[in-house]
Amino acid sequence: MAVLAARGQAPAVTRMRRLPWGQIGRHALHLVVLGLMAWMVVWGYRTLNDPWTFPIRVVKVDGELHRLAPMAVQSTVDNRLQGSFFGVELKHVLEGLSGLAWVREARVRREWPDTLHLWIDEHKPLALWRGDAVLTADGMLIYPGIEGDLLSLPALSGGDGREMPLWGQFNSLRQAMSSVGLTPRAMREDQRGSLTVVLDNGMAIRVGREDTEARMRRFLEVFDKALKPRMDEVQEVDLRYAHGFSVRWKTTSSG
């Protein structure tokens, strides 16, 4: 049925709205550019982290290494070389190196194009502590396993936290004893703080806990004059007397 316009009114005209093709095109272009940029970021990230694209080919180690086994360092680094030159996590490499007993300090950096440069500073051993630990120059206790030339280090034992004070006392006594040719090999402190020094020939010297240096000086004066010729016959010397010391001689069995 035809629709007639009311008298005096213009006929109704239906107009079609035109689509904003220019604006749609610009939005579409923006989306394409953003998608391309996102793809490039993902591609770049994967490429830079691909160990086959920029592999680590050289591991260079600097520092004076006397205790660390090269194979231990190599194995520690290899286990953490996951990624390319850009993707390898340096902090993971450092954590691995710090877990090696002899490593005092470590640094690591990348060197273009394919090198990982390590710098390692080792602990310096001073003495054995309680038979299974090594006392370092920093006053730390490390547990590398006691073998080889470590067995020739002075052996100390005492209470927790007494490592460096005992090392200081040991050095003072060692210096005094060296003047008459005696070489202390070990020193132990019991729960009461009483010291016993053991020489390299097995002779024990009970120093006590008071006036240790004065007692040792008094003993050394007499030792150099009277006991030195018979040193191999002495089993133990007890300095814990106010004005002298006692000597226990080795017993010999006759056949």
Q: Is the pLDDT score of 118 beyond 80?
A: yes
Query: Domain 58-122 - what CATH class?
Result: alpha beta
- By the 8 A CB rule, do 134 and 155 touch? no
Dist CA 72 CA 51 (whole Å) = 23
pLDDT tens, position by position, 185-198? 999 999 999 999 99
Dist CA 9 CA 11 (whole Å) = 6
Task: Give, in degrees to the nearest 5, the angle at Cα 73 between 71 and 75.
Answer: 65
Predicted structure pTM score: 0.77
pLDDT tens, position by position, 150-169? 999 999 999 999 999 999 99
Task: Give, in degrees to the nearest 5, the angle at Cα 53 between 51 and 56.
Answer: 50
Query: Which residue, 90, 91, 97, 106, is CA-closest to 73?
Result: 97
pLDDT tens, position by position, 14-52? 566 666 766 766 666 677 666 666 655 554 555 445 444
Which pLDDT score, from 0 to 100, does residue 82 have?
76
Based on the number of CB atoms within 10 Å of its own CB, is 196 exposed (0-12), middle (13-18) or buried (19 or more)? Answer: middle
Q: Is the pLDDT score of 5 beyond 50?
A: no
Dist CA 151 CA 187 (whole Å) = 15
The rounded radius of gyration (Å) of the Cα atoms in the chain is 40
Dist CA 77 CA 253 (whole Å) = 60
Dist CA 33 CA 87 (whole Å) = 27
CATH (residue range 152-249): 3.40.50.11690
Which pLDDT score, from 0 to 100, does residue 41 have?
53
Q: Tell which wins on pLDDT, 213 or 42.
A: 213
Query: Which residue, 239, 177, 176, is CA-closest to 208?
Result: 239
Which pLDDT score, from 0 to 100, does residue 254 have?
46
Q: Where are the domains of the chain?
A: 58-122, 152-249
Which pLDDT score, from 0 to 100, does residue 43 have?
47
pLDDT tens, position by position, 80-106? 887 777 778 899 999 999 999 999 999
CA dihedral (215, 236, 132, 107) positive or negative? positive
In a 13 Å sphere around the CA of 68, the CA atoms on its Cβ side amount to: 28
Which pLDDT score, from 0 to 100, does residue 52 have?
46
**CA 10 → CA 6, 13, 194, 211, 250, distances in Å?**
8, 9, 123, 127, 139
